[in-house]
Amino acid sequence: MTETNCANKQMTLQEAIKKYVKDGCSLTFGGFIGRDCVAAVHEIIRQGIKDLTVIDDSKTDMMDLLVGAGAVNRWEGAYLGYGAIGLAPNIRRSVEKGIPRKIELEDWSNAGISMRFLAGSLNVPFMATRSMLGSDIMKYNRRIKLMNDPYEGEPIALVPAAHPDVAIIHVQRADAMGNAQVFGFTGNDENKARAARHTIITCEEIVPTEEIRHRGNLTLIPFYCVDAVVQVPFGCHPQSCYGYYAYDVLFCGDYHEAAKDRDKFLKWLDRYVLSARDHMDYCEKVGWERLHKLMGMERHFNRIPG
């Protein structure tokens, strides 16, 4: 929950991560393999934060990075792969071989974990769902409870509310108060921001509050759910950000190739994350020209209505 509302919650990414993300805390990230919080993940790795629990729906490269960097202790979620490209190399190395450390896994389905965030956002202890019944997800995950519903007597599964310590959500635009507007799909972001104890909004652009008021229907996360607002242009690269830039499939392919080998992965991590001072330095390394080509491609196909 937000301690105090005020006119200006803006800070740097370093400040926001340092203030809210602590060793051993639980995290969730906005986006859904697209509009991912890549810049925030880089900063978490740079600050050497450890023993994290990640509670999330489906993640690809950003979780592979976090796990490869040894920052994660536990995963509660539905999907850890690499989309159409393949399996996630660091996830496999961690789970199968304990390199660099073994992560605990608690499997859910996407609908099941979505209901955990919905319950968290509503501040109720549980939600009912018709997913996961009869499967081994329920067999191995004892927090999913089978019950007969007291109205009709049907079998139904209960899942407990999720309340991560911190939600980090990247959006297209926000004001300094923390009102966050999303264009395109919204994933579970509205619920993650509400379920978490603290919420950091990273955004492509900070806009005046007047601009927010002009399109109040697009405000997915109101100011009172938000603790920090950080402007991070290209903060999702190499993932896409609807209306801003397209998915960098070739960069991801190169990452995936490198990540298959632990040494090559560490070199990649050093080159793009550890040796980058900050997100602007990462953009410099990726190349501004490349980033703007991806923006040009995106805006060829869609532009957020003006």
Partner 1 sequence: MSENGYTASELMAIMTAKEFKDWEVAFVGIGIPLVAGITAKKFHAPNLNIVYESGCIGPQKYRVDFNVGDSSAADGALCLTSEWRVFSDMQAGYYDVGVLGAAQVDKYGNLNTTAIFGDRDYQSPKVRLPGSGGGNDIGSNIGRVVVMLRLEPLRFVEKVDYLTTPGYLDGSPDARKKAGLQGNGPVAVVTNKALFRFDPETHEMYLDTIFPGVDVEEVKSLVGWDLKVAADLKTAPEPTPEELAAVRSADPANLIMGGAAARNSLAGLDEYIAITKKYSGIL
DSSP SS3 for 262: helix
Residue tagged 């507007």 (tokens): 181
Between residue 45 and residue 64, which ones bind partner 1 under the rule CB under 8 A? 57-58, 60
Between residue 190 and residue 209, which ones bind partner 1 under the rule CB under 8 A? 190-191, 194, 209
The smaller minimum CB distance to partner 1, of residues 46 and 172, is found at: 172
150 binds, among partner 1, a second copy, none (CB under 5 to 8 A by kind): a second copy
**Counting contacts by CB under 8 A, is residue 100 touching partner 1?**
no
We find the least distance from the C-beta atom of residue 225 to a second copy, in angstroms, to be 18
DSSP SS3 for 17: helix
We find the least distance from the C-beta atom of residue 159 to partner 1, in angstroms, to be 12
CA 34 to chain centroid, in Å, comes to 9
Size of the site for partner 1 (CB under 8 A): 108
- Sorted by sequence, the CB contacts under 8 Å of residue 14 that are 6+ apart come out as 43, 47, 278
**Counting contacts by CB under 8 A, is residue 184 touching a second copy?**
yes
Q: Select from 25, 85, 128, 176 the one that contacts a second copy (CB under 8 A).
A: 128
We find the least distance from the C-beta atom of residue 153 to a second copy, in angstroms, to be 9
**Counting contacts by CB under 8 A, is residue 271 touching a second copy?**
no
* Assigned token pair, 198: 């603290």
Q: Could you check whether the bond before residue 222 is cis, i.e. omega within 30 degrees of 0?
A: no
- Sorted by sequence, the CB contacts under 8 Å of residue 260 that are 6+ apart come out as 89
**Counting contacts by CB under 8 A, is residue 247 touching partner 1?**
yes
Q: Select from 104, 261, 281, 284 the one that contacts partner 1 (CB under 8 A).
A: 104
Q: Select from 15, 208, 250, 284 the one that contacts partner 1 (CB under 8 A).
A: 250
Integer Cα distance of 236 and 259 in angstroms: 19
Integer Cα distance of 132 and 49 in angstroms: 33
Determine the interface stretch with a second copy among 23-31, 42-50, 76-84, 180-188 (rule: CB under 8 A): 180-188
The smaller minimum CB distance to partner 1, of residues 48 and 296, is found at: 296
Q: Select from 20, 29, 108, 268 the one that contacts partner 1 (CB under 8 A).
A: 108
Between residue 146 and residue 165, which ones bind a second copy under the rule CB under 8 A? 147, 149-152, 154, 156, 158, 160-161
CB atoms under 10 Å from CB of 98, counted, come to 10
DSSP SS3 for 148: strand
DSSP state of 245: B
DSSP, residue by residue, 62-98: HHHHHHHTT-EEEEEEEEEB-GGG-B-HHHHHHHHH-
**Counting contacts by CB under 8 A, is residue 41 touching a second copy?**
no
We find the least distance from the C-beta atom of residue 95 to a second copy, in angstroms, to be 27
DSSP SS3 for 170: strand
Integer Cα distance of 225 and 190 in angstroms: 9
275 binds, among a second copy, partner 1, none (CB under 5 to 8 A by kind): none
CB 180 within 8 A of CB 169: yes
We find the least distance from the C-beta atom of residue 189 to a second copy, in angstroms, to be 13
**Counting contacts by CB under 8 A, is residue 209 touching a second copy?**
no
Site string for a second copy, 218-247 (x = CB under 8 A): x-----------------------------
Between residue 117 and residue 156, which ones bind partner 1 under the rule CB under 8 A? 117-118, 121-124, 129-137, 139-140, 154-156
Integer Cα distance of 27 and 76 in angstroms: 10
